[in-house]
Amino acid sequence: MAPGLFITLEGIEGSGKTTQALRLKDLLNRRGLEVVVTREPGGSPIAEKIREILLDPRNRKMVALTELFLYEASRTQHVAEIIRPALDSGKCVICDRFFDASTAYQGNARGLDTQIVTGLNLLATGGIKPDLTVVLDLPVDIGLRRLGKSLDRIESEAIEFHERVREGYLEIARNDPARIKVIDGSGTIDDTFMKVSEIVEAWLSRKA
């Protein structure tokens, strides 16, 4: 069985990754691909329990390194239970966030040593890396306005934090342009999906 395809969607809060992941699944299904849609943090039963701890607004005293360890613990379980088995069976995996999120959030925004973040990412993933990553970029104020009134621990961070996350994503993309494509995610759902689908279709055509 040929190894599967691994696509990740990244972006700040309110960028619309979840919606675009589901639309992308439909597109790839129409192309005859078997698709697994998943998310981080979470994606598997144990990882989802860790997600609850990470996003609980009551856990405001959580320090940055604890946060990073929990994200990596969730990722380790997620890869073992969901991502690796799906890829090994030849399926296409679409993941709403993956290790680039730790670099942007815990590295750039929290200020942790990027070498530590990179090393833990590598350990947690066992070397699995997305084939294609699409970053949905938009101004922070637009993204935050899209959120509901009930905010989780990360969503409720100060706007300066979210600005650093956005800067982190753009820096990651500049450093890996072959894998990471940045699109404007500030438009409508349809406009954004048109851009996502163009990138994915072009990428698939090059692989054919």
- Collapsing DSSP to helix, strand or coil, 139 comes out as coil
What's the predicted TM-score (pTM) here? 0.95
**CA dist list (Å): 22 to 1, 16, 29, 46:** 25, 10, 11, 23
Condensed to tens digits (0 to 9), the pLDDT of residues 24-83 reads: 999 999 999 999 999 999 999 999 999 999 999 999 999 999 999 999 999 999 999 999
pLDDT for 206: 85
* pLDDT tens sequence across 9-34: 999 999 999 999 999 999 999 999 99
Query: Please, what are the domains in the chain?
Result: 6-207 (3.40.50.300)
Strand partners, 92: 35
What's the pLDDT tens digit per position in 109-145?
999 999 999 999 999 999 999 999 999 999 999 999 9
